[in-house]
């Protein structure tokens, strides 16, 4: 079978191949130009390449300023006094004499100019209290035992001695002398302070004899040397109470005083020793043996006054009258 080729078709297709190659070549050249341009910009200009930023500088360390400890007053004063002692005042230089300045040795010249450094006192550390060990119980604090009050002397204690047991000569009043008289009135004339009732009764008519008006008031409690008739002491309070009841029934008087754990029983108390001795003899005749013990007992006193005066001269005249009537030591208050 014969095939016939058309010459027109072959001639029309062949010129299209070079045109297609030329287009591909142009695209390839354009691509190379673009790659070359980007490479130039990237490697030589740095417009496209990312720039490396320098590392940020580290901030300087923060310095925390701590407050200086307060200086004590005593070390500061001692430092000042030491500095004043160290500085010697230079001798006065006469203005007429002008010495030629000589080059001084810098070491020697710097020595007097240097001031002694003040030593800063070390801060006083607070005293830390020792903490108790863990698990250890704190020491038990013993409470002080209450002191047992001494049983007050019963009112049966004889402050005033009976007239039959005490001679009048032995009964002396207890008087309190005033050391410094008052400078301004009013002035009160005091005949005396009395503990023994018989002495007070003896001085009352003397005040009336002097032409003054007597007045009795309560005085201060004063320690008086008393003569007590000691009977016995007991450890049991009930036994002491029974002994007191026995003395009251047989002797007419009795009381007890507690001293510590003991209860002392007495048959009486007298301000004058002669009265205590006579009572001791009377009790011995009744079969009760007692001993005399001296002790200081605070007793309430009685104050006997003879009037109050606004004029000092009148008060002194009243004192003279009392002395003339037989009052031993009247005073002014």
pLDDT digits (tens, 9 = 90+) for 107-136: 444 444 444 445 555 555 544 454 444 444
User: 224-297 has which fold?
Assistant: Alpha-Beta Plaits (3.30.70)
pLDDT digits (tens, 9 = 90+) for 248-287: 988 888 999 998 899 999 999 888 888 899 999 999 998 9
Each domain of the chain, given as residue ranges in start order, spans 192-222+311-333, 224-297
Q: Are 330 and 214 in contact, with CB atoms under 8 Å apart?
A: no
Q: What is the spatial distance between Cα 331 and Cα 333, in angstroms, rounded to a whole number?
A: 7
Tokens matching residue 180: 């410094």
The pLDDT score that the predictor gives to residue 78 is 52
Burial (CB count <10 Å: 0-12, 13-18, 19+), residue 104: exposed
pLDDT digits (tens, 9 = 90+) for 152-171: 444 444 443 433 343 333 44
Q: Give the dihedral of Cα atoms 292, 297, 299, 304; nearest 10 deg.
A: 80
Whole-prediction pTM value? 0.36
First to last CA, the chain: 183
Query: Any residues with CB less than 8 A from the CB of 295 and at least 6 apart, and which?
Result: 225, 226, 228
Residue 146, strand partner residues:
none
Q: What is the spatial distance between Cα 60 and Cα 100, in angstroms, rounded to a whole number?
A: 54
pLDDT digits (tens, 9 = 90+) for 202-253: 888 888 888 888 888 888 787 888 889 999 999 999 999 999 999 998 888 8
């Amino acid at each position: 079978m014969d095939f016939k080729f058309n010459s027109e078709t072959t001639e029309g297709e062949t010129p299209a191949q070079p045109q297609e190659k030329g287009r591909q070549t142009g695209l390839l050249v354009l691509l190379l130009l673009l790659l070359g341009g980007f490479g130039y910009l990237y490697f030589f200009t740095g417009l496209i390449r990312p720039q490396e930023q320098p590392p940020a500088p580290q901030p300087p360390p923060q310095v925390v300023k701590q407050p200086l400890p307060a200086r004590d007053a005593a070390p500061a004063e001692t430092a000042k006094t030491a500095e004043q002692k160290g500085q010697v005042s230079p001798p006065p230089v006469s203005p007429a004499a002008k010495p030629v300045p000589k080059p001084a040795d810098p070491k020697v010249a710097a020595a007097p100019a240097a001031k002694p450094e003040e030593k800063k006192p070390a801060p006083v550390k607070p005293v830390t209290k020792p903490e108790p060990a863990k698990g250890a119980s704190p020491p038990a604090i013993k409470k002080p035992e209450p002191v047992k009050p001494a049983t007050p002397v019963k009112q049966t204690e004889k402050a005033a001695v009976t007239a039959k047991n005490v001679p009048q000569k032995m009964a002396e009043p207890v008087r309190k002398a005033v050391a410094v008289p008052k400078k301004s009135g009013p002035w009160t004339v005091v005949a005396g302070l009395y503990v023994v009732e018989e002495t007070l009764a003896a001085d009352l008519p003397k005040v009336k004899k002097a032409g003054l008006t007597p007045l009795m008031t309560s005085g201060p409690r004063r320690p008086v040397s008393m003569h007590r008739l000691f009977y016995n002491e007991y450890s049991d309070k009930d036994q002491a109470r029974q002994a007191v009841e026995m003395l009251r029934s047989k002797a007419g008087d009795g009381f007890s005083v507690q001293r510590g754990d003991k209860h002392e029983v007495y048959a009486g108390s007298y301000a004058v020793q002669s009265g205590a001795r006579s009572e001791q003899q009377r009790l011995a005749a009744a079969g009760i043996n007692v001993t005399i013990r001296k002790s200081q007992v605070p007793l309430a006193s009685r104050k006997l006054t003879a009037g109050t005066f606004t004029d000092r001269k009148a008060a002194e005249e009243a004192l003279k009258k009392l002395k003339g009537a037989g009052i031993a030591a009247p005073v002014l208050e």
